[in-house]
Structure 1
Amino acid sequence: MREAVKISIILVLILISACKKQTENSKIPVIVQTETNQEEKYFFDCKTELINGIEFEACIKRPGTFTIKSSKGKVVYSNDNNPFDFEFSDFNGDGYSDIRMNYVSNTPGLQELLLFDIKSNEFKKVKTFNKYPNSKRIKDSDFYYSYHGSGCADNDWGSELFKIEGTQITELGKIQGLGCLENDTNGIYIYKVIGSEKELIKYIKREQGYWKEKWDFIEKYWTENKTKFE
C-alpha cells in the first residue's frame, strides 16, 4: 500500500513539472525569418511631367540620388546631391518644362537649374546657377535677375543681372544695397559687369535701415534698363 502511494506521488510530481515546462515554453516568442527588400528602406519623392511628347519621372531617393527617367526607362539625368524638393516649370520661357531643385542652405532661395534640351530630350545642368539665389526671368526677354541678403538682418543685399547661354551664365550687372551702418556709405550701388571687372555706373543715396521698397526697385530697374548692360 505504501509503495502504491509513493508511486502515485512521483507520477503527480512528473505531471506538474511537465505542465510547468510547457507553460514557460509558451512564453517564448516565435521569430519568423523574412527577407527584407533593401529598397524599402529608402524614401521616394517622385513627380511626373509630359514634355515634348515624352513622360519623365523625377525622383528623390533618400539617402541616394536624384534621378530623372524617361517613359522608356532611360536615365536622362542623375546626381548624388539630393535636393529637399524640386519642381517642374518653364524657367527660360521656351515652352518646355525645366526643373528647379531646392536645397537647404543659410542662403534662402538657393537652387540648381536643369534646362530641358529638346534636341536630345534630356536635362542639362546650368553651371554656377546656385550662385544666383531667388532668380527670376524678366518677362518677354532672355534676361534674369537674382536676389540675396548680404548680412545685417537683410539691411545689406545684392542682385545680379545675367543671361543663360546653353549651360553657361554670363553676368551683366550688379546692384549692391548697403544700409547696415550709419555712415556715408549707405546707398544703392549699380555696376556694369564686363568679364571679371565691374564699373560703377550709378549711386543712389538712402538712409540706414531695412528698405522694404527694394523688391519693387530691383524688378523695375532691371526690367527698364536690362539692355544697357549687354
Structure 2
Amino acid sequence: MKAFLIVLVLLIGTNCLFAQEDTYQTVTARVDDVLYKAIYKSSDRSISILKPNGKTMLHLNSGDCYEEGFSSFKFVDFNGDGYKDLFIEHMSNVAGRCDLLLYDKLKKKFVLIKDFPDYPVPERLKNTNLYYSYHRSGCADSNWDSDLFKIINNKIIKIGNISGLDCGDKEIGVFITKVRGAKEQLIKKYPISEIGKYKNYKWGFIEQYWKRNYRKFI
C-alpha cells in the first residue's frame, strides 16, 4: 500500500511539472524595415512584442483584456495603411471577440486600441477608414447588432448601428441608427423579412447595407 501511494504521489508530481511547462507560439513581421516578433507564452497567457535586439516593446496579459485568454494572433495590415498590425483573437463565448494593436508609424510602436473587444468580428470597408462589427444580442441570435465605426487617435468612434430584432416584446424589424456620441437618430427601418432577400441572410444584408450607405453616417 505504501509503495502504491509513493508511486501515485510521484505520478501526480510529474504531471504537475509537465502542466507547468511553458509552451510558446511565435509570429514575425517586418514593419517599417524592422523585424518584430510576437510571442505567446502559455503559463501566464501573455503576448509580447519584441524588437530585433530582444527588448520587449509591449507585453499584454490576457487579464488586461478578458480572462478567457487568447486563441490566435497574427500580423496583418488591418487599417490598410501599408504597415502590419497585430490582430489577436480571444477565447470567448462571444464569437469573434478580439484585440488590435495598431502600428503607429509616427511613434514607431504598437498601440492597443481601447474597447476593441466590444466590436466583434470586425471588417474593414474597402477603400475607406471605416469598419463594421457583428454580435449576438439575445434570443439565440435572433436579435443581433452591427456597429459602424472608425478609429481616430487609437480610439473607436461609433457612428452607426444596425439592430435586428426577431424575438421578444419589442417591435420586430431591422432598425438603422445614426450615432453621434450619446445621441442616436433612427433613419431607416425594414421588416425583418428583408434579410431573407440576401444570399448570406443577415450577414449579407449587413455587408451590403454598410457598403452602399456608409457615406450617410460620415
CA distance in 2, matches of 1:68, 1:184: 46
**TM-score using structure 2 length:** 0.81
Deviations 1:98-132 (A, max 9, x none): 11111111110000000011223211001111110
Deviations 1:52-71 (A, max 9, x none): 11111101111222100011
**TM-score using structure 1 length:** 0.77
Q: CA RMSD in A?
A: 2.3
Letter in 2 for 1:173: G
CA contact (8 A) 1:179 1:209 kept: no
CA distance in 1, matches of 2:21, 2:209: 50
Task: State the match for 1:55 in structure 2.
Answer: 35
Q: Offset of 1:225 from its aligned partner?
A: 1.2
CA contact (8 A) 1:186 1:207 kept: no
Which runs of no fewer than 5 residues in structure 2 stay unpaired?
1-17, 63-68
CA contact (8 A) 1:55 1:71 kept: yes
Task: State the match for 1:199 in structure 2.
Answer: 185
Detail structure 1 runs of 4+ shifted over 2 Å in the superposition.
Answer: 206-212
Task: State the match for 1:111 in structure 2.
Answer: 98
CA distance in 1, matches of 2:22, 2:116: 28
Task: State the match for 2:139 in structure 1.
Answer: 152
Matched, 1:226 2:207: no
CA distance in 2, matches of 1:208, 1:222: 15
CA distance in 1, matches of 2:206, 2:75: 26
Which runs of no fewer than 5 residues in structure 1 stay unpaired?
1-37
What is the percentage of aligned positions where both structures have the same residue? 37
Letter in 1 for 2:183: E
Letter in 2 for 1:63: S
User: How many equivalent residue pairs?
Assistant: 192
Deviations 1:167-225 (A, max 9, x none): 111000000001125x7711100101111121111110124998852111111111111
Task: State the match for 1:102 in structure 2.
Answer: 89
> Against the structure 1 CA distance between its residues 54 and 203, is the aligned structure 2 distance closer, same or farther, given a 3 Å change threshold?
same
Matched, 1:79 2:87: no
Letter in 2 for 1:215: W
Letter in 1 for 2:110: F
> Against the structure 1 CA distance between its residues 168 and 202, is the aligned structure 2 distance closer, same or farther, given a 3 Å change threshold?
same
Deviations 1:27-56 (A, max 9, x none): xxxxxxxxxxx9x82111111111111111
